């Protein structure tokens, strides 16, 4: 797979050492917001030649325990990290690992969610912070003591060392137990900015540089005279990928739009119109019956994701077998897809995405993923740079498996239609009240559970339907939106009035994490 690697000949910026955390690339994303070039590399791939290219290192979080790393791994990390003579910031697990390598003590003590932190000693890392701040914690272990050379700068309200500093020769190491990269740590970005200043890292990078680099990298690494197949869904991710691929393969690019029968109401016509307005004439394949027959009666959502991914690939293989000149397959994978599918070394799988873990091993086509290390908001900005209309850029993200992941329990066509029509009501109501553009996603979910109701003075039994509306900037973290009760009331009445099989409407009020945005 073609992705982004450490830029050849580039000196400076931040190297994020990926220890398998769910937010690793979000750390990278935040530094990019601050105008700094970043690259992410799994810790098992660390080499001195790579470390020498950067101004500073960040050690990421991880689902692992420090005690799970064997002595050989600890020694390798210690040698490479400390011998690099670079400023270091350890975050969450990285904070614990740094403390362990420096001789500190780690104990099992959990902290999750919004947590208070009290600053014990003022330091440049806390410029712009008050003496007490709320941060976002997500860990099972914490640092309880440091060797004499370390300074404890802040404690959590539960007694964990929240921040420490170690001066070693001419270098400085910081550890923070919380996650400054997530929006829930309100002043987290300021802390990262402070670290850049302390480390002397230049802020001279932009997203347009990244796009230029991706295009040049693809041109250098592929046969531009060969044909490439790109799958488009009409969403921002796949459309931007198609536009980038078009700059590389030009008229050798074959764009395919497969209707899997799991799209939103009226979406087929809208997608075709949007693509044609961008100068893309897709090959349209109506495979609705093919997919729905496959999914009928399947209860396990992860299984549905895999079935959808495999069926897509079968369709693409059929096209490729008809045209041997097709050598490449382009898809709109973004980093949230990658990290949630658990394909990064050390990371825990949350769910399989049809364009990542859903690709079967027998598909041998070379896959190009120009957006693999970008977040949703970055993809939107790339789309803006490439000239996508604002209406398309403001379109809510939509999962590749479509409405199949918004049906909980047994998949049926009846439940699919309920979700499709109810989601349309939710979106239309938000537009009516001027709220659509201010939220990240809004949709309906239905499961197997039933609720007794009264319709026409008679006892009735129907589905429980859940409305989900969230706000986010990147898709990695999200908060539920405090929709006015009046708007929720309108949605509920419209849904129960127009959908006879729904008797009760609920509203989901859990953030990501601990939940995910989509139900399954």
Distance CA 207, CA 34 (A): 11
Q: Which two tokens stand for residue 257?
A: 């739009």
Read off the CATH number of the domain in which 489 is found.
Answer: 3.30.300.10
Contact 331, 366 (CB under 8 A): no
131: in domain = yes
Same-domain check for residues 272 and 158? no
Active site residue 139: no
144 plus 220 within the same structural domain: no
Kindly state whether residues 52 and 165 are assigned to the same domain: yes
Within 8 A by CB and 6+ apart from 75, the residues are: none
Claim to verify: residue 420 and residue 379 sit in the same structural domain: no
Q: Is 68 a catalytic site residue? A: no
Scanning the structure block, which residue is given the tokens 């404690």?
Answer: 155
Distance (Å, rounded) from C-alpha 279 to C-alpha 106? 58
- The whole-angstrom separation of Cα 339 and Cα 102 is 29
Q: Which two tokens stand for residue 213?
A: 């680099």
The CATH number that applies at residue 87 is 3.40.50.880
E-assigned strands of 271-421?
283-286, 326-330, 366-368
The active-site residue out of 92, 142, 160, 301 is 92
Which CATH number fits the domain that encloses residue 264? 3.40.50.620
Distance CA 54, CA 80 (A): 13
Looking at the fold, whether 189 and 243 belong to one and the same domain comes out as no
> Model pTM?
0.74
Q: Is 140 part of a structural domain of the chain?
A: yes
Do residue 195 and residue 211 come from a single domain?
Answer: no
Residue 220 lies in a domain: yes
pLDDT (tens, 9 = 90+) of the chain, 520 residues, equals 444 343 443 457 999 999 888 888 889 889 988 999 888 888 888 888 888 889 999 999 988 888 777 777 788 788 878 778 899 999 999 999 989 888 888 888 888 889 999 999 999 999 999 999 999 998 889 999 987 778 999 999 989 999 999 988 778 999 999 999 998 899 999 999 999 999 999 998 888 888 888 899 899 999 999 999 999 998 899 999 999 999 999 999 999 999 999 999 999 999 999 999 999 999 999 999 999 999 999 999 999 999 999 999 899 999 999 999 999 999 998 876 766 555 444 444 444 444 544 565 667 788 999 998 787 888 999 999 999 988 889 889 899 899 999 999 999 999 999 999 999 999 999 999 999 999 999 999 999 999 998 877 778 899 999 999 999 987 878 899 999 999 999 999 999 999 999 999 999 999 997 899 999 8
Q: How far apart are CA 153 and CA 243, in angstroms?
A: 48
Is 515 part of a structural domain of the chain? no
Angle at the Cα of 503 (from 502 to 506), degrees rounded to 5? 90
For 399-465, the DSSP string reads -TTGGGGGB-SS--HHHHHHHHHHHHHHHHHHHHTT-GGGSSEEEEEEEEEEEEEEETTEEEEEEEE
Do 3 and 372 contact (CB within 8 A), yes or no?
A: yes
SS3 content of the chain, % helix, strand, coil (to 5): 35, 25, 40
Looking at the fold, whether 223 and 349 belong to one and the same domain comes out as yes
Q: CB-based burial of residue 207 (10 Å sphere; 0-12 exposed, 13-18 middle, 19+ buried)?
A: middle
For the chain, the domain total comes to 3
Quick one: 57 and 159 in the same domain? yes
25, 95, 139, 179: the active-site residue: 179
Token pair for 169 = 């020769």
Q: Are residues 132 and 167 in the same domain?
A: yes
> Is 265 domain-assigned?
yes
Choose the final residue of a domain: 199, 223, 258: 199
Strand partners, 228: 253, 328
Query: Which tokens sit at 396?
Result: 């809510």
| Catalytic residue list contains 486 | no
Q: Is 318 exposed, middle or buried (0-12, 13-18, 19+ CB in 10 A)?
A: exposed
Whether 372 maps to a domain, the answer reads yes
| Domain containing residue 357 | 207-393
Asked if residue 2 is part of any domain, the answer here is no
377 and 486 co-located in one domain: no
Which regions of 178-331 does DSSP assign to beta strands (E)? 227-231, 253-259, 283-286, 326-330
Structure confidence at residue 11 (pLDDT)? 54
Catalytic residue among 111, 133, 141, 181: 181
Q: Is residue 448 part of a domain?
A: yes
Q: Are residues 222 and 304 in the same domain?
A: yes
Q: Are residues 213 and 259 in the same domain?
A: yes
Last residue of a domain, one of 393, 417, 445: 393
Q: Please identify, among 153, 169, 199, the residue that sits at the C-terminal boundary of a domain.
A: 199
Give CA–CA dist 403/259, Å, rounded.
Answer: 12
């Amino acid at each position: 797979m073609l992705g982004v690697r450490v830029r050849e000949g580039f000196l400076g910026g931040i190297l994020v050492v990926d220890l398998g955390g769910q937010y690793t690339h979000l750390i990278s994303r935040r530094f990019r917001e601050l105008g700094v070039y970043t690259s992410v590399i799994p810790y098992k791939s660390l080499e001195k030649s790579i470390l020498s290219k950067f101004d500073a290192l960040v050690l990421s979080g991880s689902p692992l325990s420090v005690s799970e790393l064997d002595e050989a791994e600890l020694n390798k990390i210690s040698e490479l990290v400390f011998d690099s003579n670079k400023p270091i910031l350890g975050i969450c697990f990285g904070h614990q690992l740094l403390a362990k390598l420096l001789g500190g003590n780690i104990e099992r003590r959990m902290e999750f969610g919004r947590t208070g932190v009290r600053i014990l000693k003022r330091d440049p890392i806390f410029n712009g912070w008050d003496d007490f701040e709320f941060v976002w914690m997500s860990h099972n272990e914490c640092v309880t003591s440091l060797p004499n050379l370390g300074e404890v700068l802040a404690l959590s309200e539960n007694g964990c060392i929240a921040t420490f500093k170690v001066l070693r020769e001419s270098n400085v190491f910081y550890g923070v137990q919380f996650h400054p990269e997530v929006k829930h740590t309100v002043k987290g970005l300021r802390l990262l900015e402070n670290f850049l200043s302390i480390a002397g890292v230049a802020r001279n990078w932009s997203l347009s540089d990244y796009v230029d680099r991706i295009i040049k990298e693809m041109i250098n690494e592929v046969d531009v005279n060969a044909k490439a197949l790109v799958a488009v869904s009409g969403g921002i991710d796949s459309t931007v990928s198609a536009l980038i691929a078009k700059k590389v393969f030009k008229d050798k690019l074959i764009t395919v739009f497969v209707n899997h029968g799991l799209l939103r109401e009226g979406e087929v016509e809208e997608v075709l119109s949007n693509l044609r307005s961008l100068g893309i004439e897709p090959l349209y394949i109506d495979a609705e019956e093919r997919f729905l027959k496959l999914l009928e009666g399947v209860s396990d959502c992860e299984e549905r994701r895999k079935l959808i991914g495999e069926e897509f690939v079968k369709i693409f293989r059929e096209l490729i077998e008809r045209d041997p000149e097709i050598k490449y397959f382009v898809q709109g994978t973004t980093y949230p897809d990658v990290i949630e599918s658990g394909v990064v070394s050390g990371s825990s799988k949350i769910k399989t995405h049809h364009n990542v873990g859903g690709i079967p091993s027998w598909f041998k086509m070379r896959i190009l993923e120009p957006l693999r290390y970008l977040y949703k908001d970055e993809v939107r900005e790339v789309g803006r740079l490439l000239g996508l209309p604002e209406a398309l850029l403001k379109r809510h993200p939509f999962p590749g498996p479509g409405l199949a992941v918004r049906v909980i329990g047994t998949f049926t066509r009846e439940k699919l239609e309920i979700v499709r029509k109810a989601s349309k009501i939710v979106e239309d109501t938000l537009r009516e009240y001027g709220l659509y553009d201010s939220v990240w996603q809004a949709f309906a979910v239905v499961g197997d559970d039933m609720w007794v109701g009264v319709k026409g003075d008679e006892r009735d039994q129907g589905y429980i339907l859940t409305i989900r509306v969230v706000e986010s900037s990147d898709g990695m973290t999200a908060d539920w939106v405090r929709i006015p009760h009046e708007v929720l009331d309108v949605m509920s009445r419209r849904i129960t009035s127009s959908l006879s099989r729904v008797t009760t409407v609920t509203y989901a009020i859990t953030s990501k994490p601990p939940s995910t945005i989509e139900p399954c």
